[in-house]
Structure 1
């Protein structure tokens, strides 16, 4: 199948496919005499796997590690478990940070809840006064 067909079947842009190829997450396809890339069902399966991993917010390096594990199906899946446990831990940290950000934004919003002029906007002055260190 051509890149446009693969892209449509998996639900990604052709540029995404090229990017994943450059990153080594998809093997380079064979080419026709006219230079067009020819993709197989294996490419579609691997691209679907990568897409699902990205939906789970796994990084490209994490996806690469998972693919290495897939290539050796007889090894223990302990490596996969550790990778996912670490990912969950990072995700929890990000959630905590996002909740703190939400509180900060709500507090800023409360500082300007009437029809003021921009020069006396509590939100704009509050943003300027935040110490991000």
Structure 2
């Protein structure tokens, strides 16, 4: 294998290290669509997941937030209802700390400069 091929392979493995660590932190395996979507996020692609309620779309969003956080990037997490924004705000604060997570809804603004911002 040439130096360029070894470098490309190492770079590819590094991209997916976050995904491997994320999956290992779960008590269950990712479904194929979740793994594919998370892998696309790790590769820098924009991702839209459309699946029925309860299928596991939230895990892809949680991976995207984790991936941005590990790289020092800002993440925006949108939800269709305020109650879900409030719940995810609490969940993400527990993981990343209240100083790193913001919430912007029609009625509430909390730490809008946080690394991760939930929007409704």
Both proteins in one fold, TM over 0.5: no
* TM-score band, normalised by shorter chain: under 0.3
Q: Which has the higher helix share?
A: 1
| TM-score, normalising length: structure 2 | 0.26
Q: Which has the higher strand share?
A: 2
Report which of the two structures shows the higher radius of gyration computed on alpha carbons: 1
| TM-score, normalising length: structure 1 | 0.25
> Higher relative contact order at CA 8 Å, sep ≥6: structure 1 or structure 2?
2
